[in-house]
Structure 1
Amino acid sequence: MKNKKRYTVTAALPYANGPIHIGHLSGVYLPADIFVRYLKYNGKKVIFISGTDEHGVPITIKAKEEGLTTKKIVDKYHILIKKSLKKIGILFDNFSRTTSKIHYKTSISFFKKLYKKKKFIERETEQYYDNKVNQFLPDRYILGICPKCNYNIAYGDQCEKCGFSISPEELIKPYSYFTGVKPILKKTKHWYLPLNKYQNFLEKCIKNKKHFKKNVYGQIKSWLNEGLKPRAITRDLNWGIPIPIPNNLGKVLYVWFEAPIGYISSTIEWSFKKGKNWEKYWKYPNTAIINFIGKDNIIFHCIIFPIMLKIHGNYILPDNVPANEFLNIENKKISTSKKWAVWLHEYLEDFTNKEDVLRYVLISNMPETKDTNFSWKDFKQKNNSELVSILGNFVNRVVVLTKRYFNGKVPYPDKLSKKDLSILDNIKKSPLKIGFFIEKYNFKYALLKFMNLARLGNKYLTLEEPWKKFQLNKKRVKTIIYISFQIIGALGYLSNPFLPFTSKKILKMLNLKKKKWNFILKSNEIVKPGSKLGELNFFFKKIKNLIKL
């Protein structure tokens, strides 16, 4: 990936049927944001793309629940999701929506290309139909018992409890979402993507994807071992993108087919705004496409979407799909239907100026290889014992000592000891240590390496005790404070991917301009002596009362 000229980084399109919760943030948007910030800090050409997914049955279900039209539902949640992500520091180059004219045009064009190449299979099959409401039932409108874990409220496309991808025919004792009665089977015509014809193609691709995360690679292999089967790309619905085939009223593109195309249409929208060539980011082989998703989307992004791109013929394939596992809350699976979630917009309202606290807690506990758990007790502990006591305490002590002894100016150092030189060497190596793990999509460990630098500063200050030495050895105190500011300067730059609001405050206090990531590697002096400190509007405060959900 290092020889790539540019990067297209996408984050899964959130369904516009509800607000963003911390599971979405931990699983997709924070890892994507960290990676993009790191790339941009390194001066790479990168676009960060997403948007709301505004078709599909979950949208229509939500509209019925809230007594609104589907259009009003998607408008409501598109605005809320976009605003919430921006407030937590997730800054997209373009955040679009799948109800846009550009997306309709792009999706229809994509479908036509495959249709003209005669790549679809046209089939008349029997599908579930609810006689009481006179409607074919999309997968999400069919419920029943999961054949894998026996959960009794599984959907016809996926079990919400175990995450198993299923088809309506596999459900035990299926019933209609609308009426609760057992649906009948009725004939209908649909178009299928022949995934089975591209099994060999995918198997060859997988051989070159040893850099995929184990959880992603394992799920792909599992599907390939079972053997791929044709999958329908159309549905009987009145909400979606109508298929461009005459005399097929009521047939729309299935959401899993058109939603990934949303990455492309969002990029095209970005290109119109910026006057750029979007094709460089999707068709040029010296571009790396990285799709950040949750584990429930692995099959769509690692099997179906690559096959779609392959059949089309004009697109490059994604370089990596670093999917995360799930985040639970208080040892219970997040469930929007059961109202068991921590909503991002509510957090931002209740915890003003604590954006980086949530970012820190979620990154430090990110479900990168297995499901993890969020608890308010852990939230409080990490805030108080790590952000306040380690990072905040170190910066605050140095600033207070500088104002007390040196009129708020960074002192000039005297002779550097071996310990001082060792710390400066450690600072120089920090961008490489942190960057190594970011590039491996191990953001949890990258954050640990960052915090180790703050720990080093705290330990240095505690052992040196400049407050005790000032009267006897003022020169040594000058050196201690000077070295401490080199650490703080590095923390200011290196915190950006993880804690962007904190980074901005530190750099502003030190009057430092934004530099490239590797600036620290080459710099012998991050903070110049004689620099006057700006105001420190301090960023972390102890939480006294335990919060309960």
Structure 2
Amino acid sequence: MKEFKRTTVTAALPYANGPLHIGHIAGAYLPADTYVRYLRLRGDDVIFICGSDEHGVAINLGAKKEGVTPRQFVDKYHGIMQKAFADFGIGFDIYSRTSNQVHYETAQAFFKKIYDKNLFIEETSDQYYDEQEKIFLADRYIIGTCPNCSNANAYGDQCEKCGTSLSPKQLINPRSTVSGQTPVLKATKHWYFPLDKFEAWLKEWLIEGHKEDWKTNVYTQCKAWIDQGLQPRSITRDLDWGIPVPLPDANGKVLYVWFDAPIGYISATKELKPNDWEKYWKDKDTRLIHFIGKDNIVFHCIIFPSMLKAEGDFILPDNVPANEFLNLEGEKLSTSRNHAVWLHEYLQDFPGRRDELRYVLNSISPEAKDADFTWKDYQQKVNSELVSIFGNFVNRVMVLTWKYFDGKVPSEHELPVTSDKRNKVLASYKQAHEDLNASIKLMTDALKNFRFREAQFQMMNLSRIGNKFLADTEPWKLAKEDMEAVGCILNYAITVIGNIGIACNPFLPDASKSISRQLNGASYEEGWKKFWKQEELIHIVPPQHQLAQPELLYKNVEDADIEKQIERLKKSKAPVATENTTAEVKPLKGEIVFDDFAKIDIRIGKVIAAEKMEKSDKLLKLTVDSGVDRRTILSGIAKHYTAEEMVGKQVTFVANLAPRKMMGIESQGMILMAEDNQGKLRLVTPDADVNPGAGVS
């Protein structure tokens, strides 16, 4: 791997239309903060960049809903998010915002540089317009039926069930997410980025160049996008809030939020380092790393790199370690339903306990697949791991040292073997030393490769090994007959504590500070770089050094604390439709006549074989007995049914749908599903078995 002089780390710019919840933190900001702390401890030159994303249709709509101006709206949520990040201890070097003047100037200059190369496509076309709200609709504000997998809630730019890249005009029965009405097409002029012209370069740089070093979930999504073929993408919008397009014939046009937002990383760096910002973005000896959630993968791995390539002066991302999604108590986090743990509320309810949330979120980090946060699991991890393992080891050693040596570090010296007990002490020391160094190397390797769950586990393992060392040597028993051995045991145990204080800093910074206080100015921080460079246990605290009084690092989370949080979720969550409540239903589609319906041949079939499609987390390949033949149907239901569950089931399918090729396989029909208001798909089946081929009328 190439050695770099410096590292630029960015965390996804959070959208300034609401507060932060734990899904945001687990997805991008905690992994980024953990990694940056590790680099800083090594003594690396690193900057950590973030800020509020403050443009786009959602800002206009949110401001309108609250009865304020867009500026007042983003000022409010920028302040809330900035404070929450600071209170949680996320160590950005700068937390900027895309409404700052320096960002306007940077984004416009970026646009103009590419424009002057004649790369943009200028085109007048019909785009969807919401007549009720009197706005042109961004791709993400149009939903409809995916022509590929028949998902009824595909977005105008992508179907999140089958992963197909779409344009709004490809959607069947499109509708506005703003008003629920069917939009109309209206002529407007815009500028397009020719993403298709960068397809060959992306295949070489990304598909070939990062096959081995990028996370599988990131690489797979990018490859699927590129394999489908890239299309020019509009980079301007008709809005009155945003960065004006810097051209004389562009009145009323602003830069598309997904063009201007990633440039915010660059403008924020300009704010932070106005005199030498370029070395963090233009020097080939700088490593650029983006931390994001999986919904931002395409923008950071395909679109933004293509923009940087088109501009010509900037380095490209070396890695984009995106995480999957975090669920809450078995359900998707939902801001609209208020099913979330809000960061600012957690900090109010658990003052002084931010390490606990860091630890739990790191331990369940959705690095390769979606993960689930539950309050019971939170309690268990804090009580049985942070309190009983980590905090217990540190406190036992400190208390024993005060008890037997008045808080002074005992001397380190050779321990002659004069008894079986001393022989056991030496054997335990040797084993502990080997195990500790092995865990340190595993921890640092995991940190280098963005495996933060594993890294934190190995960090915690240092305390497990320390506890075992104490249990095996039993200094409280030896104190009755061999204080020299007790001194050697506690001297080594205090060395372990000092190393744990260094090792835990990326994960548990407050605990690291507490250990530093308890070691009472032992100048062990000078050994941090040595620890992280050598990746092995180092000697830290000198003999006869006076320790400070012991501190309890953690305390148990009580049942009442957890019950309060669970009850809050129950009360605050918007009700799900039941027999006694009315669910929000989608607007009716456009009217059809009987002849339209009569063309559709809907039948009942039986699944006789099923398998998961390779390289797709959404598609099942079904072999269906239609009563007439046996046919292959690809269906985007893998997140709702396993292949094993589908075998033997009766399904309702469209039998005369024109075949469509997906991932190299021809699908000969479409399975009909019902989708509830939580996004869960259910099979539409007869209430009793019927013969395959039975018609539905």
Instruction: Name the residue aligned to 1:441.
Output: 450
Deviation of residue 422 (structure 1)?
A: 3.7
- Percent identity, aligned pairs only? 53
Trace 1:361-372 onto structure 2 (pairs within 5 A): 361-372=360-371
2:541 corresponds to 1:530: no
Contact 2:440–2:458 at 8 Å: present in 1 too? no
Contact 2:59–2:70 at 8 Å: present in 1 too? yes
Deviation of residue 460 (structure 1)?
A: 1.1
Deviates further, 291-300 or 403-412: 403-412
Cα pair distance change 1:146/1:528, threshold 3 Å: farther
Select the residue among 474, 488, 493 that pairs with 2:483. 474
Contact 1:431–1:518 at 8 Å: present in 2 too? no
Q: Secondary structure at the match of 1:515?
A: helix
Q: Secondary structure at the match of 1:27?
A: helix
- CA distance, structure 1, for counterparts of residue 356 and residue 479 of structure 2: 35
Instruction: Name the residue aligned to 2:54.
Output: 54
Select the residue among 413, 423, 428 that pairs with 2:432. 423
Deviates further, 445-454 or 330-339: 330-339
- Note the residue ranges of structure 2 that are not aligned, 5 or more in a row: 416-425, 570-697
Instruction: Name the residue aligned to 1:222.
Output: 224
Trace 1:86-485 onto structure 2 (pairs within 5 A): 86-145=86-145, 155-157=155-157, 166-206=166-206, 207-209=208-210, 210-272=212-274, 276-416=275-415, 417-428=426-437, 430-485=439-494
- CA distance, structure 2, for counterparts of residue 69 and residue 163 of structure 1: 36
Select the structure with the greater relative contact order (CA < 8 A; seq sep ≥ 6): 1
Contact 2:9–2:289 at 8 Å: present in 1 too? yes
Deviation of residue 181 (structure 1)?
A: 2.0
Contact 1:431–1:517 at 8 Å: present in 2 too? no
2:521 corresponds to 1:507: no
Contact 1:427–1:490 at 8 Å: present in 2 too? no
Cα pair distance change 1:152/1:66, threshold 3 Å: farther
Contact 1:58–1:140 at 8 Å: present in 2 too? no
Question: Which deviations, in whole Å up to 9, do the C-alpha atoms of 1:103-132 show, x marking residues without a partner?
Answer: 000000000011111000111111111223
Trace 1:65-84 onto structure 2 (pairs within 5 A): 65-84=65-84
Question: Which deviations, in whole Å up to 9, do the C-alpha atoms of 1:219-263 show, x marking residues without a partner?
Answer: 111011111111110111111111011132221100111111001
Deviation of residue 345 (structure 1)?
A: 0.8
Contact 1:138–1:236 at 8 Å: present in 2 too? no
Cα pair distance change 1:158/1:436, threshold 3 Å: same
Deviation of residue 143 (structure 1)?
A: 3.8
Deviation of residue 426 (structure 1)?
A: 4.2
Deviation of residue 68 (structure 1)?
A: 2.2
Contact 1:413–1:475 at 8 Å: present in 2 too? no
Q: Secondary structure at the match of 1:90?
A: coil
Deviates further, 502-511 or 128-137: 128-137
- Note the residue ranges of structure 1 that are not aligned, 5 or more in a row: none
Deviation of residue 146 (structure 1)?
A: 5.5
Q: Which amino acid aligns with 1:316?
A: I
Cα pair distance change 1:173/1:515, threshold 3 Å: farther
Normalising by structure 2, what TM-score?
A: 0.75
Contact 1:414–1:476 at 8 Å: present in 2 too? no
Cα pair distance change 1:524/1:346, threshold 3 Å: closer
Q: How many residues align?
A: 546
Deviates further, 148-157 or 203-212: 148-157
Q: Secondary structure at the match of 2:365?
A: coil
Contact 1:57–1:140 at 8 Å: present in 2 too? no
Question: Which deviations, in whole Å up to 9, do the C-alpha atoms of 1:26-67 show, x marking residues without a partner?
Answer: 110111111111111111111111111000122222222322
- CA distance, structure 1, for counterparts of residue 538 and residue 193 of structure 2: 58
Deviation of residue 414 (structure 1)?
A: 4.7
Cα pair distance change 1:226/1:146, threshold 3 Å: closer
Deviation of residue 499 (structure 1)?
A: 0.6
Cα pair distance change 1:152/1:348, threshold 3 Å: farther
Contact 1:26–1:367 at 8 Å: present in 2 too? yes
Deviation of residue 363 (structure 1)?
A: 0.4
Q: Secondary structure at the match of 1:260?
A: helix
- CA distance, structure 2, for counterparts of residue 103 and residue 112 of structure 1: 14
- CA distance, structure 2, for counterparts of residue 146 and residue 197 of structure 1: 26
Deviation of residue 211 (structure 1)?
A: 0.5
Instruction: Flag the structure with larger Rg.
Output: 2
Q: Which amino acid aligns with 2:381?
A: K
Q: Which amino acid aligns with 2:254?
A: V
Alignment RMSD = 2.0
Q: Secondary structure at the match of 1:259?
A: helix
Instruction: Name the residue aligned to 1:489.
Output: 498
Q: Secondary structure at the match of 2:318?
A: coil
Contact 1:359–1:499 at 8 Å: present in 2 too? yes
- CA distance, structure 2, for counterparts of residue 279 and residue 385 of structure 1: 48
